Amino acid sequence: MGHDLVSRAATALAFAATIACGSPAADGPGASSPAGSGASSSRGGGAQAASSSPDASAATGSAPAGPSDAQGWPFAPAPSAEERAAQLTRLANDPGPLKSNWTPPGKSARYGHAEGLIAAPYDAVRARLVDFGHYKDLAGPKFKKVSLVDKQAGGTDIYWQLPIMKGVVTIWYVTRFAPARPAAGGGEVVEGTFVKGNIKDVHLVFTMRPAAEDKAKTVLVCDLLLALNIPAPQGALDEELRDACGDAINNVRAKSTAAP
């Protein structure tokens, strides 16, 4: 027990020191498929070392990448009939959120991933996902603060504050959400991309499609990337990312199926 306490204390000090120095994040292991059943898949249900103020002068990382190309992930390619059928079978057996980690096509980093079947029509789910002013209601208990900070014709900026690694580090970032865009094969994608923060990058993607066999249900998929400025155990980061996606799906479900 004493050794474990010393180890955790040393880890906390290491995180605090490395974020203060701006050390680059360590590379993680290879990807796992969101449809797989490997060790990185799951079923679902401290000290503040980083700045928590959305100050542009404190922002780190490269310039924002902007919205994704419509010809690539997450907008394309369209899922095959076999992939759609397999997903619906999984969600018929367990409506989720089914959580995992993977590296999407054309990407090099690991994302958290969750998928769920929501017993609400597509329009009801879509209304929740484009209601950016109420994203705090969708974020889940892991987030300390979520607020809309700017809204223009081309996008909506949302500020997020998130304690990670058992509260050892608090990160903040601003994401810009473009209006919902069509996805190949039907449905739409709501995408948030990095504007600024005390991390390297963030990418949040919601993909929604009507459940083909039941128009009263909607398939919702969440994918989340956080690229940190500190070395962090990949397993711990994987857990944070997939849990955040699972929380988002649960909260969209709760809001979309609540009685008027």
Mean pLDDT of 81-96: 95
Mean pLDDT of 51-58: 42
* Predicted pLDDT of residue 83: 95
Backbone angle region of 185, left / alpha / beta, with phi > 0 → left and psi within -120 to 50 → alpha: left
Q: Containing H/E element for 157?
A: strand 155-164
Q: Which residues pair with 210 in a beta bridge?
A: 218
Mean pLDDT of 161-184: 91
More confident residue, 205 or 143: 205
Mean pLDDT of 45-63: 42
125 confidence band (pLDDT: 50, 70, 90): very high
Residue 60 has pLDDT above 80, yes or no: no
Residue 18 has pLDDT above 70, yes or no: no
> In angstroms, rounded to a whole number, what is the distance separating the alpha carbons of residues 151 and 208?
23
Domain extents for the chain? 2-257
* Predicted pLDDT of residue 142: 81
CATH no., domain 2-257: 3.30.530.20
* Predicted pLDDT of residue 186: 93
Residue 13 has pLDDT above 70, yes or no: no
Angle between helices 234-257 and 122-129 (to 10 degrees): 120
Residue 1 has pLDDT above 50, yes or no: no
14-18, 148-152, 228-232: least confidently modelled range: 14-18
Cβ-based neighbours of 135, under 8 Å, separated by 6 or more: 146, 148, 158
- Residue-wise pLDDT for 64-86, tens only, equals 668 899 999 999 999 999 999 99
Mean pLDDT of all residues belonging to the chain: 80
Backbone angle region of 187, left / alpha / beta, with phi > 0 → left and psi within -120 to 50 → alpha: left
* Predicted pLDDT of residue 246: 96
* Predicted pLDDT of residue 231: 86
Mean pLDDT of 124-147: 92
Mean pLDDT of 26-31: 35
Residue 37 has pLDDT above 70, yes or no: no
193 confidence band (pLDDT: 50, 70, 90): very high
Instruction: For residue 130, count other CB atoms closer than 10 A to its CB.
Output: 14
* Predicted pLDDT of residue 230: 84
Residue 221 has pLDDT above 50, yes or no: yes
200 confidence band (pLDDT: 50, 70, 90): very high
